[in-house]
Amino acid sequence: MTIKEMRMRTGMTQNEFANRLSIPTRTLQNWECCTRECPQYLLNLIGYYLKHENLFKPEEDITVIGKVKIADRAAELSLCSERTEGGTVFCWEAVYKMSDGQIGLIQWDGQKRVFQPLNDFKRNAEGIRTQPMHACRTITRAEMKKAPFCSAKLESLSEIE
């Protein structure tokens, strides 16, 4: 966990966090924007202190907030795919809101699960999302435990544009 992630989990501002730890605010800013690197032993000590002082806010769960149409190679091969009036083959995918507030899809990429932000997808002529424009991030085991499995409930979800 980075120093910024630790601070964000406490809900403190940079000034509050720096004052609580008795470090200069500018030093904290340099660590957060990667101008300087916080030593690993210090990260461990800060994490230990924050944990044992119960300063971390409880992590929020990952929630399903809707569904979107995805037209990709997996949709073409899927048995549960549909077609638009224009002929585009698509599947419905669940949209997740992560604990950090990001909205996107959790998908398989080879042997690992990844998170792809929703606004990172290209759209075809019909406005259906196709492929991501950038790389996605791997989902941690802790996130996987919190992510609900919802493929059976897709019909009841509302569509997100």
Say what the pLDDT of residue 151 is.
57
Give me the amino acid identity at 118.
L
Q: Where are the alpha helices (DSSP H) in 11-68?
A: 14-21, 25-32, 40-52
Task: Give the H/E segment covering residue 76.
Answer: helix 73-77
pLDDT given for residue 107 in this prediction: 82
Q: Which residues contact 58 (CB under 8 A, 6 or more apart)?
A: none
- Residue 132, strand partner residues: 121
| Helix 25-32 / helix 3-10 crossing angle, nearest 10 deg | 110
Structural domains present in the chain: 3-52 (1.10.260), 63-156 (no CATH)
pLDDT for 59 equals 61
Tokens of 129: 């999302």
| β pairing state of 63-70 and 89-97 | antiparallel
What pTM was estimated for this model as a whole? 0.58
pLDDT value for 150: 63
